[in-house]
Structure 1
């Protein structure tokens, strides 16, 4: 998938791409053509780094409704000639989801677009899933011939049809069609057996019943597991081998495991390290320091991966030493990993180290990255008030709406200004968990927009149940106070 091109956070486009509440507020205050152009740009070129964990569709659909925006841009995107060339569902998935929400809000043009795309588009299955939730039976029945034409009669077409029926996220259309189309009925009956046969037909290599055999099995991952990249195969096999070692390794195997952790190949080394960490072996801190200094980056990664599994007072003492700037190792990969461990499992005395690590991360890497989330969570968990400026920066600048939500949760625990400040904006955020947080914490006095927004969220049938519960609780409490 392409790497999204994200505009600066101070621009309307940048705010909308991030899904921030201020994006909606600025769009409603901007010139309507400018707001619609920015909105179309977001929907036709998905700005999310990970669409599986970040939400945007309801956020954008609400804004289309507020602006009474036409759907010409989405129409042109869905039926562009590229649709027949680039069939990756990520190209059109966000646009189809937005249309689904708009159809639920009563937009007839959105419903018609979904029907037309189901007939002609490459990502028709996604469009059909959206229709399954919103369209009436009669309209769905009229789509059956066009969908069935996608599967020519014959063994290959029948197998593809069975796969489509089996993989459908919403089975409603297929169940409707099965009553009048024998091929679809047969596909629905056969699909579960296809899955069963595939599960029975899987052949996986198994290790021998002994620590040495398990370690050797871990080292054969790249040769025997071709389901992904060699690196991923080694990681998967090493984790499985560590679980096997938990069952077969005994006290007499400790010298073998220590040697593998010090000198073994990557697979055996990962498995042995993880097993020793899980057993809280006293040699683990020294082994991690040794591996973290290895010239092979794969071994360094193995050490940092298992470091996060360490627990207990002795492990936390080592982590504090590794993460402390006074020791000179805070800027190393080991120091950064140790700070993340403290963020996840440390106590209140570690708040300064976590806040310092968060500031150093931002200075070195910016407001995004795989390791930043646990530092943000840790700052909130440990109530590290010294981290508030850094948390505000992450909240404003990150391109990940999920990470922004985590920053909002941390600010709610550390920032006295949160109820009257960021919480107000969060009521319009694209993530339902962030809207729920805002509903529970926002100050209902001082900003006339707050109560009106709470009422609109309470009345919106598309809103999540958790948000509804939080909003209605605040509105009921407010009525009692008055």
Structure 2
């Protein structure tokens, strides 16, 4: 599973997960602990700041992790500054910017932004300067306005008024900062904001508002043969947003599954255990459109009898990094809730699988799930590895470790650091403070 050797088909591959570099690429806390004791190897951090090593750039977290490493190891930020300015203008897919193939722009902005909040003056000045003369200045400004205190970016409004152009309409979000605060300060800004607002209203006018529709009306829309695809997708999303079961959805599910409507899985999840009889049927029919979704529904709501299809779905992910979390969570829940001697081997195999995923997967977004499952299945051995998880790249992993790591002297030192770190998530800081105070 994965590409950890030179025989893989990709141009670039991850270093073996048991190496320091491999752990660093995956955002592991063990890599930070190792580098703290081996600062001469700090240059390895640059291999992860010049190329985004996240498996999924949208959900996996690295900015805080890498900013801390640069700060704690006192590494020069000059390469990041050069990387920021080397990137060309944004190009929508399928166009590409060869200077940003590996997400170098967002990586540089994200790390520098976090460093600035940690007190790095050069990072702060670099990003403010980039708004004044950088190519992708609106992208950079949007990040600053969403992350920094208002007083840090508010003074850039005059620069924005000078630089903004009518062709920037697509990049501006009128209802978000900084534009929400800056409206009315300069006609050049207001002209673009008004155009952007009109454009978004036109787009919203083409959407369907079903917020006031009853459950029965939503089902009627889904059953109607003359209703377009977009309307049905909107109805499914409305059912999911309301987060209350609509059992009548099962009356029309076969039609919707055949039409392969986006949003159907999310609406089915809301049904809870009511979906189990149908999901069990889908799980044994490899030709059914909901065959893959069925295992995830069984993992979320099923019982011991549902273990085989969940296991089979997990085995189908042998060459994939995404999607293990829900399936393994379901197995851990079932095995913990109804332990039996006949499942001892399965539990041992699941523990081994989860341990390997925790260490080997570069898809760090799912790591918290694996650790939560391991705490259910093997609490003693899992607790023993939690202290280094305080240094993990993922906030939910750090939160879990802050709540459950054994309070050794080293753990308390790391908890103190998290409690007082201005770039740490509030929930993690609070959990660290609570553990240190004995609450």
TM-score by length of 2: 0.73
CA contact (8 A) 1:308 1:337 kept: no
- Give the Cα–Cα distance (whole angstroms) in 2 for the partners of residues 311 and 161 of structure 1: 41
- Give the Cα–Cα distance (whole angstroms) in 1 for the partners of residues 273 and 115 of structure 2: 53
Q: Cα deviation per residue 1:40-74 (whole Å; 9 max; x = unaligned)?
A: 23223222233332221111111111111101221
**Which of 67, 71, 75 is equivalent to 2:77?**
71
Structure 2 equivalent of residue 444 of structure 1:
407
**Which of 42, 45, 61 is equivalent to 1:35?**
42
Structure 2 equivalent of residue 214 of structure 1:
224
In the TM superposition, what is the alpha-carbon distance from 1:193 to its structure 2 partner? 5.4
Structure 2 equivalent of residue 417 of structure 1:
380
CA contact (8 A) 2:55 2:363 kept: yes
In the TM superposition, what is the alpha-carbon distance from 1:280 to its structure 2 partner? 4.1
- Give the Cα–Cα distance (whole angstroms) in 2 for the partners of residues 332 and 360 of structure 1: 19
Structure-2 change in CA distance of 1:186 and 1:139 (3 Å): same
Structure-2 change in CA distance of 1:239 and 1:60 (3 Å): same
Structure 2 equivalent of residue 343 of structure 1:
299
- Give the Cα–Cα distance (whole angstroms) in 1 for the partners of residues 57 and 81 of structure 2: 21
Residue 36 of structure 2 corresponds to residue 23 of structure 1: no
Structure 2 equivalent of residue 360 of structure 1:
315
Structure 2 equivalent of residue 396 of structure 1:
359
- Give the Cα–Cα distance (whole angstroms) in 2 for the partners of residues 468 and 111 of structure 1: 23
Q: CA RMSD in A?
A: 4.6
TM-score by length of 1: 0.67
- Give the Cα–Cα distance (whole angstroms) in 2 for the partners of residues 217 and 240 of structure 1: 11
In the TM superposition, what is the alpha-carbon distance from 1:334 to its structure 2 partner? 7.0
Structure 2: stretches of 5+ with no match in the other structure: 1-9, 92-96, 211-216, 240-244, 337-346
Structure 1 equivalent of residue 419 of structure 2:
458
In the TM superposition, what is the alpha-carbon distance from 1:388 to its structure 2 partner? 1.5
- Give the Cα–Cα distance (whole angstroms) in 2 for the partners of residues 335 and 192 of structure 1: 42
Structure 2 equivalent of residue 472 of structure 1:
433
Structure-2 change in CA distance of 1:184 and 1:196 (3 Å): same
Structure-2 change in CA distance of 1:129 and 1:173 (3 Å): farther
CA contact (8 A) 1:322 1:335 kept: yes
- Give the Cα–Cα distance (whole angstroms) in 1 for the partners of residues 169 and 250 of structure 2: 52
Alignment of 1:96-107 (within 5 A): 96-107=109-120
Structure-2 change in CA distance of 1:309 and 1:204 (3 Å): closer
- Give the Cα–Cα distance (whole angstroms) in 2 for the partners of residues 331 and 418 of structure 1: 41
CA contact (8 A) 2:221 2:227 kept: no
Larger RCO (CA within 8 A; separation ≥ 6): 2
Residue 386 of structure 2 corresponds to residue 373 of structure 1: no
- Give the Cα–Cα distance (whole angstroms) in 1 for the partners of residues 221 and 180 of structure 2: 50
- Give the Cα–Cα distance (whole angstroms) in 2 for the partners of residues 359 and 200 of structure 1: 40
In the TM superposition, what is the alpha-carbon distance from 1:358 to its structure 2 partner? 6.8
Q: Cα deviation per residue 1:236-262 (whole Å; 9 max; x = unaligned)?
A: 5543477999xxxxxxxxxxxxxxxxx
Q: Which is worse superposed, 310-319 or 386-395?
A: 310-319
CA contact (8 A) 1:162 1:191 kept: no
CA contact (8 A) 2:246 2:271 kept: no
Structure 1: stretches of 5+ with no match in the other structure: 222-235, 246-274, 293-297
Q: Which is worse superposed, 45-54 or 71-80?
A: 45-54
In the TM superposition, what is the alpha-carbon distance from 1:459 to its structure 2 partner? 1.4
CA contact (8 A) 1:307 1:341 kept: no
Structure-2 change in CA distance of 1:472 and 1:383 (3 Å): farther
- Give the Cα–Cα distance (whole angstroms) in 1 for the partners of residues 220 and 66 of structure 2: 56
In the TM superposition, what is the alpha-carbon distance from 1:313 to its structure 2 partner? 6.9
Whose Rg is larger?
1
CA contact (8 A) 1:27 1:35 kept: yes
Q: Cα deviation per residue 1:144-187 (whole Å; 9 max; x = unaligned)?
A: 554334335xxx36xx3696361654448736xx54x4433565
- Give the Cα–Cα distance (whole angstroms) in 2 for the partners of residues 138 and 277 of structure 1: 51
Structure 1 equivalent of residue 19 of structure 2:
11
In the TM superposition, what is the alpha-carbon distance from 1:443 to its structure 2 partner? 1.1
Structure 2 equivalent of residue 316 of structure 1:
276
SS of residue matched to 1:428: coil
CA contact (8 A) 1:277 1:306 kept: no
CA contact (8 A) 2:292 2:313 kept: no
